[in-house]
Amino acid sequence: MRGLRLLTIVALLAFIAFVVRAASLDFQSLWRDEVDALCYSYEFPALLVAAVKPQHQGPSLPCACPPPPVAMADTAAGLLPRLLSVLGGMIRQNGPLYYFILRGWIALAGTTEYGMRFLSLACGTLAVSLAYVLGRRLFDRRSGLLAALLVATSPYLTWYGQEAKMYALVLVQAMLALYALRRALDGGGWHWWAVQLVATTMAFYTHILAALLIPLQIVLYFVWWPRSRSQWKAALFSLGCLTLPYLPLAAWQAPSILQARATGFYPYTLDQMAQILLNGWSLGITGIGWPWGVIAPGVLAAWGLLRPVHRDERRNQLALACWIALPLVCVWLISLRQPLFTDRYLIWSAPAFYLSLSWAVSGLVQVRGWGRYVALVLMALIVTCNGANLWEQATGPFKSDFRSAAAYVASRYHPGELIMFQIPHGRYTFDYYFTVEGYPWADGLFTNHRAPDGSYLVSEQESAARMAALTSGYQTIWLVVTEAAMWDERGLVQHWLETQRTRVDEAHFMRVDVYRYE
């Protein structure tokens, strides 16, 4: 009866996670990375087929798509060189596995926002059950249930559980890999080693930074000593099996991992990275409840890692600390020479934070007298803060609103009018929503090239001449602007239109602006 009650509670928490994510799954417009994922899910499988059958015709794409970031294989080469060439290029795109899974998924669910994002929703819901079994395995039932509650209501995990990207999938893969490792070290049998091997391999082919799961699992093997001592042969065999599928990744990563190069990412310090992660894991993307909504969970999680316990639980606390710290420190070390930190890349460390937090609250419950009430109040405050941030995410636009921008243009567009995009990559997301086919378009100019002395290589006069050539013959020009500073920080494109044409209409949406010139 007790087991049935626990199963019911976990199922209820998973249902809450499902409802929270499903209720606003398509509220936010798709952003450019999601449309890229849609395009790659068509293009990557087609490239593999073309490597086998060079005469194969490419697929019919669901919208305008960027050229695949993978070179077409040399048709003169043999089959194996062609396959290796294409697969090698795909590995560089954060791992290709998600795009192949998404392609199979949209064959069933379609290419609507809701259909594409439902895959991430399913992964986010599954993470609730994994949080419970991890908490129960490492500590106790109460910690598992509290961790499941935190994962179910986490604004951060909900946000990425509503996005057509790989982050919710890699979260589940990492949680499953670490749970399987612990079960295997507890003597669970060879099948848990198989689950650990498959889940880890799938994770680093879903996102390249998930390769940090390998050193993390090696560290955890020694953290859980002497429990793991009797499993050293199986652990070595598992590591050896992981080495073979990792070799293609290593062949690309090893030569470039410590190169100094510009990446476009901000060069955060280690403490800035830690603060960004803490803010995100505590409050999501909206930040309602800052600073106490960050300080309180942060202090509690720290106490969960440090509270006095017996030796076996101490090792589990250390395991959670390694789960949080080791991937972060590795990314920081790499970023010293080539910045690449973005908080979502380390989403798979977030469960360790929630497990630490749940273990701290579970410890308060055990304090006689006031402890149970303090724990209840703290959890109520945390869940309330989660709810406020979830509501804000579900009711306020945060992603670039190409959906509204495309609808606005479509309602006023006449055949033959030129649509110019600044930045050019915005066209692919715009086209996903735009209902007019075969419209004339042009890419906005890239004017940010600089000489070594810092001066601009594209002058205002050259920009004006190129704009005159691009717009020649068009009476009406639409300008769709998003993230323009990435492409034209001086605003030369819009300045030319403002001085040479008459602006007759404009509309402004979240991170997307639309102008019409005659």
pLDDT tens, per residue, the chain with 518 residues: 578 899 999 999 999 999 999 999 999 999 999 999 999 999 999 988 888 888 777 788 899 999 888 887 777 677 878 887 888 788 777 889 999 999 999 999 999 999 999 999 999 999 999 999 999 999 999 999 999 999 999 999 999 999 999 999 999 999 999 999 999 999 989 999 999 999 999 999 999 999 999 999 999 999 999 899 999 999 999 999 988 888 887 777 777 776 777 777 899 999 999 999 999 999 999 999 999 999 999 999 999 999 888 888 999 999 999 999 999 999 999 999 899 999 999 999 999 999 999 999 999 988 877 888 999 999 999 999 999 999 999 999 999 999 999 999 999 999 999 999 999 999 999 999 999 999 999 999 999 999 989 899 999 999 999 999 999 999 999 999 999 999 999 999 999 999 999 999 999 999 999 999 99
Long-range contacts: 296-300, Cβ < 8 Å, 24+?
A: 296/378, 296/381, 296/382, 297/353, 297/357, 297/382, 300/356, 300/357, 300/360, 300/361, 300/378
Give which of 160, 173, 145 is closest to 12, Cα–Cα: 145
**What is the reported pLDDT for 82?**
81
* CA nearest to 477, candidates 445, 509, 514, 508: 514
- Could you give the maximum distance between any two Cα atoms of the chain, in Å? 82
Reduced to 3 states (helix: H, G, I; strand: E, B; else coil), residue 62 is coil
Give the pLDDT confidence score for residue 76 in this predicted structure: 66
Residues pairing with 419 in the sheet:
441, 478
Question: CB count, 10 Å around CB of 278?
Answer: 18
Whole-model pTM: value is 0.95
The Cβ of residue 263 has, within 10 Å, a number of other Cβ atoms equal to 12
Cβ atoms of 421 and 317 closer than 8 Å: no
Burial (CB count <10 Å: 0-12, 13-18, 19+), residue 478: buried
Rounded Cα distance between 174 and 180, Å, is 10
- Identify the pLDDT of residue 258: 67
Per-residue pLDDT at 418: 98
Q: At what angle do helices 232-256 and 190-204 cross, to 10 degrees?
A: 10
Give the torsion sign (CA, 138, 342, 274, 364): negative
